[in-house]
Structure 1
């Protein structure tokens, strides 16, 4: 292989430092290099808008010293509003109407679907009434835990949940979410409402998140 004596060398010992809005990049000057270009890439899907203001300075070292340092200071800002719009759009939001025995779960059928719809139902038959009081209470707790687990099976990785219905079961369900590791960071809100049709419930939940 022939060697081109005019080909610049490869910069070495790249060091990045800085914080939000500023990057300081240091590297060893490469032999025969007359200029350098650095690109700043901010990840995202789609990537957020990024604005850059670049400046460059040469540290005071002999120009023929291959170990001389180059420094580039990159100052940038990101369109936070665009990022916020994306984060809201990508949130997994669910709504639930429930009482002690029935639950209807509202959500998105898939990540690209922008409209809410019914994604599942859950039922709690209740204790059979043929046991003594202590046994009935234990059975009721077991059935309720199964009921709550069945509801959450329809809302995997939920970011926000709005729970509505009658009685106090909503508060118990929100407490269950808080104690479940998978949902410990889920933001849950609740209100009371009477039983309504699936179509009306979809409208109700849509209004809670808009």
Structure 2
């Protein structure tokens, strides 16, 4: 366990948690609902752990030094917490309890919340999906997240554009909802969206150029 510096403790104390915790919770919830928990897509995680618990665990691990945060190399605490949340979710999904237990409701085919009987294979991944397919699916998700956060760093000079990306990562997709959450008018959001699209095009051109150079 690494010793937590006074600098980190002071930055953590002054961080706007009232704003960050709801956003981090939405991000964790969105991530968790895309995964299979005890045999159910988006089902309950082991030991009843919820998105809010993942967020609190992640914050606590930074505070007690289990997950070191260096503000000099990673100034953005929000982004660092996102990476910790990703690790915590991966740890849970790969844990023994999640991999070896199915929920009783899935195994028994009891009626689910909409009154329909849940058959076993309606709730778990395709029986033909072996370890290779699962690994490929997780790798694809990792690459998508890697592309997302590299683009996020690419637009570090435009905080408002970064904020839009953060809202999208949290699962907020409607134009009006994003604008409201940012405290801006819809017309201003539309202008920012155009800027974001131009920056994304530039970023993709750079990435494609790098890929072509690697092949040469």
Tell me the TM-score range normalised by the shorter chain.
Answer: under 0.3
Higher strand share: 1
Structure ranking higher on relative contact order (CA contacts 8 Å, 6+ apart) = 2
Normalising by structure 2, we get a TM-score of 0.20
Larger of the two Rg values belongs to structure:
1
Normalising by structure 1, we get a TM-score of 0.20
